[in-house]
Structures are given as structure tokens and as C-alpha cells.
Copies of this chain bind each other. A is one copy, B any other.
């Protein structure tokens, strides 16, 4: 370590306790999670997330964007820790870590959305972290007003979800472990249209238009939407294919329907 590298060294005991945040059990118990990468950490800073600890490795200092990020952290901050490359790799379990990570406190979950208009996304048992992260990133891009996930969906603070989301979670009202059926019934009574994305049935997505009160429901990669939820739907929609394959990837289907809905409300 050079003399110009700020912060005390990361101890092995501290490393061991931070590594536990890779597991849901410890994230839930401690109410915090860890993110890795320059862009994700920048997003956390920009969004005013509550950052408890910063951990960096020497490789961060080799990139200008990395040095600039480090400069934004007060150098005598007690929670700025210097890791060796080996420690950092053990901490993040990423093939090519960017040398910066931070521990973020989970926000308290707010009350579920109960307004009378907007565009919401409901996720029923999305199990693949890459899909989940991509869906969150897409929802943020298209300005969705909130994302509500039921109990079977992979959690937002899973490291692979965070990576694929590119920091979208710091900008997006997101709700977990929601009792979807109950919320959907309430919203339907308020005049919302419930739209199910389906692999082959329903309205051609190109005919879909926003009503200003829309809820798009995306079902699990393997089995689609739970029948109890499916029964509540106002309409189904599908994306016509002109080639081969049984279906589109769930995150891709979600993106195309969101594109169509936000396009058509412009």
C-alpha cells in the first residue's frame, strides 16, 4: 500500500462479517446490503443512500473515474477501509471487481401506492437475479411509478440484482413481499386496468394504449402468472413473433410492453 492511500486497512475479522452480507439471512437481520462497482456506488451517493462503510482496493486508483469517486469520500471518514486485492475479491465474489464497494442501509419500506393514477409494475415470482435487475433498470428508464414484488420474487438487494439493475433501485419506489392479490383487487376497484403479459394469448401488444391507470403484471420465467392473480386481470397482451421460439425472456417481454405503454401515453 502506498502512503497516499487513505483509510485504515480492512481487518480479517471485519472482512468475515462483511462477507456475510452476500446471504439474504444476514441482509435481513442487519438491515443492510453491499454493492460493488464504480457506477453503482456513484448512484448510491447521488441518490443520498445511507452509506455506512466504504471499502476500496488498490485497483480503484488506476482509473480516473475511480479516483474521482474516492475523492468524494471524506478521507478521514472512519468508515473508509482499504482492502488488499485478494480481500476485495473475496468480499465481492465478482470475476473482475472494480475495487470499490459500500455497505448501504436498507430503507424502511413505505406504505403501498394508493393513488388513483399512474403506471405500476407487479412481479410475480421472478426468480432469476439478472432478469430482476434488468426489469428494475427498465422500469426506472421508462419512469414507472412503482414496482411491487410478491413473496416468491428474488429480493432487490441480492448482489446480482443490484449489479444488473445498474442502480435503478436508488431511484425507483420498489416494494417487496407484497400481498399482490389484495393490492391488485384494491387498485382494480379504484379504476386501474390490470394487464397480464402472456406468451401467446390476448390483445396484440401493438394495440395496447395507456389509460393513465395501468398495472402491468409479469409472471415467473417458468410458469407465468399465478392463476389466482390471472383471474383478476382486465386484459392479457402478447408480443407477436415472426420467427421461432416458445416465448421471449421475461425481462424482454416486460420492456416491450412498457415501451408500448409509455410510448402510447405520450
A122 to B86, CA, bound (A): 38
Q: Does A144 contact B (CB under 8 A)?
A: yes
Contact A241 B143 (CB under 8 A): yes
Q: Which residue from B138, B244, B259 sits with its C-beta under 8 Å from A259? A: B259
Q: Does A183 contact B (CB under 8 A)?
A: no
Contact A166 B252 (CB under 8 A): no
Contact B244 A172 (CB under 8 A): yes
CB distance from A247 to the nearest CB of B (A): 8
Contact A242 B166 (CB under 8 A): no
Q: Which residue from B142, B246, B248 sits with its C-beta under 8 Å from A138? A: B248
CB proximity to B under 8 Å, residues A144-182: 144, 164, 166-168, 171-172
Q: Does A227 contact B (CB under 8 A)?
A: no
* Chain B hits for A246, CB < 8 A: 39, 166
CB proximity to B under 8 Å, residues A224-266: 239, 241-249, 251-252, 255-256, 259, 262-263
* Chain B hits for A262, CB < 8 A: 242
* Chain B hits for A166, CB < 8 A: 245-247, 249
Contact B248 A137 (CB under 8 A): yes
Q: A245 and B141 in contact (CB under 8 A), knowing A251-B252, A252-B134, A255-B255?
A: yes
CB distance from A134 to the nearest CB of B (A): 5
* Chain B hits for A137, CB < 8 A: 245, 248-249, 252
Residue ID in chain B nearest A251 by CB atoms:
B252
Residue ID in chain B nearest A138 by CB atoms:
B252
Q: Does A63 contact B (CB under 8 A)?
A: no
CB distance from A189 to the nearest CB of B (A): 27
Q: Does A130 contact B (CB under 8 A)?
A: yes
Pick the 6 closest A-B CB pairs, nearest first.
Answer: A143-B243, A143-B242, A171-B244, A141-B241, A252-B255, A140-B244
- 12 new A-B contacts at CB < 8 Å, known A144-B243, A206-B263: A137-B245, A138-B252, A141-B245, A141-B247, A143-B243, A164-B249, A166-B246, A168-B244, A168-B245, A252-B252, A255-B255, A255-B256
A-B contact pairs, 7 of them (CB 8 A): A39-B246, A137-B248, A140-B244, A141-B243, A141-B247, A143-B243, A143-B244
